[in-house]
Chain A
Amino acid sequence: MEEVEKTTAGTSLWSDAWKRLRRNKLAFVSLCFLAFMVVAVIAGPSIIFWTTGFTYESTPTDRALVRAFPPSLLHPMGTDDQGRDMLARVLQGGRVSLMVGIISTIVSLIVGVSYGAIAGYLGGKIDNIMMRIVDVIYAIPYILIVIVLLSVFGGASTPAWIKWLSTNIGGAQNQGLSQLFLLFFALGLVSWLTMARVVRGQILSLKNQDFVMAARATGVGTFGIIFRHLIPNALGPVVVYATLTIPSVMLTEAFLSFLGLGVQAPYASWGSLADIGIKNLAIYPWQLIFPGVTMALTLFALNFVGDGLRDALDPQTRKF
């Protein structure tokens, strides 16, 4: 078995797709831009702190500096009303926004893929009921679900594992950060529905193929077939859809923060920064322009990568 895999490794779906993706200039440039953004939001705030001492939350001690300054050499993106460096805030906001995108998408992947795969493989009545449930949840405005999740599990009743995650991934133990992680999960839990439909469709077309019958004949159990055999084969559309979920979740988060329901101070995300910027647009336009443009460019790149991946992974669209 292993030898067969070795000899076919060179022309596997994934390496083929990677080759095609690299040839797609727009997608590849976008991918490089995203890599740059990731490095920037991870390392950026520390670099700014070491070189200039600015952080996203501390206001200057000199009272004369506590006001909005336009972009300058010292503050490339200007400052906000409290005299905080906008560059540091945009990078910190990028951390939150990208984490929202990634963690929520992982949550929606886990839920959506298993749900869709189980419904598609079991079929019949169970499939029917499971997909009707999806339809019903679709019809409930997601904002209601997010608000309920945030208020049920917020405050004192935050589950211990969310606190654990915020301590170990977020690197700090406080209420604000656990709320942030709660938001990631709440967003993930409202964005798995389309993923479930996509996966179910894939599984439906895969489950009658010979390799599934072979697996069943060798005595693999239902869950083994779903998770070891079917899901890996349905991964192409899943990856494509996941890349497109990231920008949509980020937009949702920005929208919630815009309504004042998402990220709470002192934490910032691109959405909450834009929310503040909009209020000051006429007088301090840089407070909207920099977070807004950074976010738009990142979403732009994510959408292009998603498109490029689809073209690379789906042989049907290759000819276009």
Chain B
Amino acid sequence: MIPMALLVVSLTWGLIRIAPGNFYSTERKLPAAVEATIRAKYGLDDPWYKQYATMMSNVVRGDFGDSLKYQGQTVNEIIWRHLPYSATIGILAYLFALIVGLGAGTYAALKQNSILDFGPMSLAMFGLSIPNFVLAPVLVMIFAFWLYALPPARWGGFSSLILPVITLGAIYAAYIARLTRAGMLEVLRSDFIRTARAKGLNDRTVLLRHAFRGGILPVISFTGPALAALLAGTVVVEKVYALPGLGDIFIKAVLNRDEPLVLGIVAFLSILIMAFNLIVDISYGFLDPRIRYE
């Protein structure tokens, strides 16, 4: 896991270095003396392998150094300052997506091919098809401008979280609902469910104790990476609702060529993604008795 994360960081570093432009390049050309001082200060004139080695030794120690654009602030400071916002929205959106998705998917599978199946599933398809930068302003328009029910943007209290969470969670809820329906349909037809019914278990027990565990396997493998992506913050939601999350910081860092900040966020994200993938792999074994790890 750790070597993979280091590889990701190395590639990211390479990508930033390939891209033309510098963190100090602006509209106006800097005086040669100023540029030379900046380059000397950050060691930009050293051979690339030396710069790479310096960068790597810093990254391994978990010290990404100061941001190049936000003067006097370390990368770790910036990440920890903005992470709580992204994490709150991300975790709530994840719970929202799980509850809605699992509920709707299971329900649709039980009522297969009836109107109660097609209704939620068409809605889920619609959720998948509507871009969140269209959904967000429409929600703001309805709930903030017409109904005056919820604040249109900014951070402050639980009511300000509702719209961002719905916007961010909608597409994942739709995806989870579709995966759950497919997974449940497959499981409900398998022999062990027939056995469970034949034993005389009631529908509730069959569903919750037997079918559910197998039926949500596809959901589990989808939600691992999805949770990491959600936690990283989705840029659109942060932009539309004016939330100070990590996603916006990351885009700005890339555009500014703020190398330490980009590396810090990428390293953080890649460890997060790999950790979730590991958790997913382990939880497979618990959920599906057919899967056993040596």
Contacts and interface: CB of A to CB of B under 8 A. Distances in A.
Interface string A287-319: 010001001110110011001000000000101
Interface stretch (B34-42, B76-84, B262-270): B262-270
Given A258-B236, A282-B141, A139 B274 contact: yes
Contacts, number: 110
Contacts of A254: 131, 133
B185 interface: yes
Contacts of A299: 128-131
A151 interface: yes
A239 to B, nearest CB: 18
A27 to B, nearest CB: 12
Interface string B1-42: 000110110011001101111000000000000000000000
A182 to B, nearest CB: 14
A144 B255 CA distance: 9
Contact of B129 (A137, A152, A303): A303
B137 A281 contact: yes
Contacts of A266: none
A193 B162 CA distance: 34
Nearest to A252: B131
Given A148-B18, A148-B19, A254-B131, A139 B125 contact: no
**Chain B interface SS verdict (over half):** helix
Interface residues of B, number: 43
Nearest to A285: B141
B7 A136 contact: yes
A258 B137 CA distance: 13
A255 interface: yes
Nearest to A145: B15
B18 A152 contact: yes
B125 A303 contact: yes
A206 B80 CA distance: 48
A161 interface: no
A143 interface: yes
A255 B132 CA distance: 9
B8 A136 contact: yes
A18 to B, nearest CB: 22
Contacts of A34: none
Contact of A295 (B16, B131, B255): B131
A152 B11 contact: no
A141 B134 CA distance: 23
A66 B145 CA distance: 28
B129 A140 contact: no
Given A147-B254, A255-B131, A139 B236 contact: no
A262 interface: no
B19 A274 contact: no
B155 interface: no
A296 B269 contact: no
B131 A296 contact: yes
B137 A288 contact: yes
Interface string A143-168: 11101100110000000000000000
Nearest to B140: A281
Contacts of B236: 255, 258
Contacts of B189: 319
Contact of A296 (B11, B126, B145, B270): B126
B235 interface: yes
Contact of A274 (B4, B12, B131, B254): B131
Interface string B265-280: 0100110011000000
B251 interface: yes
B12 A143 contact: no
A296 B8 contact: no
Contact of B126 (A140, A292, A300): A300
23 contacts: A135-B4, A136-B4, A138-B273, A140-B11, A140-B12, A140-B270, A141-B232, A141-B250, A144-B15, A152-B20, A247-B129, A271-B133, A281-B141, A282-B141, A285-B141, A288-B134, A292-B131, A296-B134, A300-B125, A300-B129, A303-B128, A304-B125, A320-B112
Given A151-B20, A278-B137, A295-B131, 11 more contacts: A136-B8, A143-B250, A148-B19, A247-B128, A274-B133, A285-B141, A292-B134, A296-B134, A303-B125, A304-B125, A307-B125
Interface of B: 4-5, 7-8, 11-12, 15-16, 18-21, 112, 125-126, 128-131, 133-134, 137-138, 141, 145, 182, 185, 189, 232, 235-236, 239-240, 250-251, 254-255, 262, 266, 269-270, 273-274
